[in-house]
C-alpha cells in the first residue's frame, strides 16, 4: 500500500470559508474515487512547527491506484474549482506502508 501526503501553504487571501469549502469538496470527491482506501484532509493542527496550512493523506493499493486518484476527473474538478487558486506552495511525497492488514 502507498500513503500519499500532500501539504499546502495558502496564498494570503485564502479565507476560513475557502478552507471549509475545500474540505467539503475533497471529502465528497474521495467518496467517488474507487482506488482510495483511506482519505483524510484538513487544516494543519500545528502541533509542531510547519509552514503547511493544510494536509491531505490518501492511501491506495499501488502506483496504479495513485494515478487513478490523482488523474481522476473528480480530483481535477476540485483543483479547477477551488484548490488551484488557493495554493502558494505544495509539497507531496509517497511512502510504502506495506500490505493491507
CATH of the domain at 92: 3.30.70.100
Alpha-helical regions (H) of 1-80: 16-30, 63-70, 73-78
Kindly state whether residue 101 falls inside one of the protein's structural domains.
Answer: no
The CA-CA-CA angle for residues 46, 49, 54, to 5°, reads: 45
Query: Splitting the chain (101 residues) into consecutive groups of 10 residues, what average pLDDT does each group show?
Result: 98 98 98 97 97 98 97 97 98 92 53
User: How many structural domains does the chain have?
Assistant: 1
Chain-centroid distance of CA 19 in Å reads: 12
pLDDT recorded at residue 99: 82
pLDDT recorded at residue 5: 98
Q: Which domain, by its residues, includes 16?
A: 2-96
Amino acid at each position: 500500500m502507498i500513503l500519499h501526503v500532500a501539504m499546502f501553504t495558502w496564498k494570503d487571501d485564502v479565507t476560513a470559508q475557502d478552507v471549509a469549502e475545500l474540505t467539503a469538496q475533497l471529502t465528497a470527491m474521495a467518496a467517488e474515487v474507487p482506488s482510495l482506501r483511506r482519505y483524510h484532509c484538513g487544516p494543519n493542527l500545528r502541533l509542531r512547527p510547519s509552514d503547511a496550512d493544510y494536509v491531505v493523506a490518501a492511501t491506495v493499493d499501488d502506483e496504479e491506484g495513485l494515478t487513478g486518484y490523482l488523474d481522476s476527473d473528480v480530483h481535477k474538478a476540485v483543483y479547477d474549482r477551488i484548490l488551484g487558486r488557493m495554493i502558494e506552495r505544495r509539497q507531496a511525497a509517497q511512502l510504502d506502508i506495506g500490505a493491507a492488514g
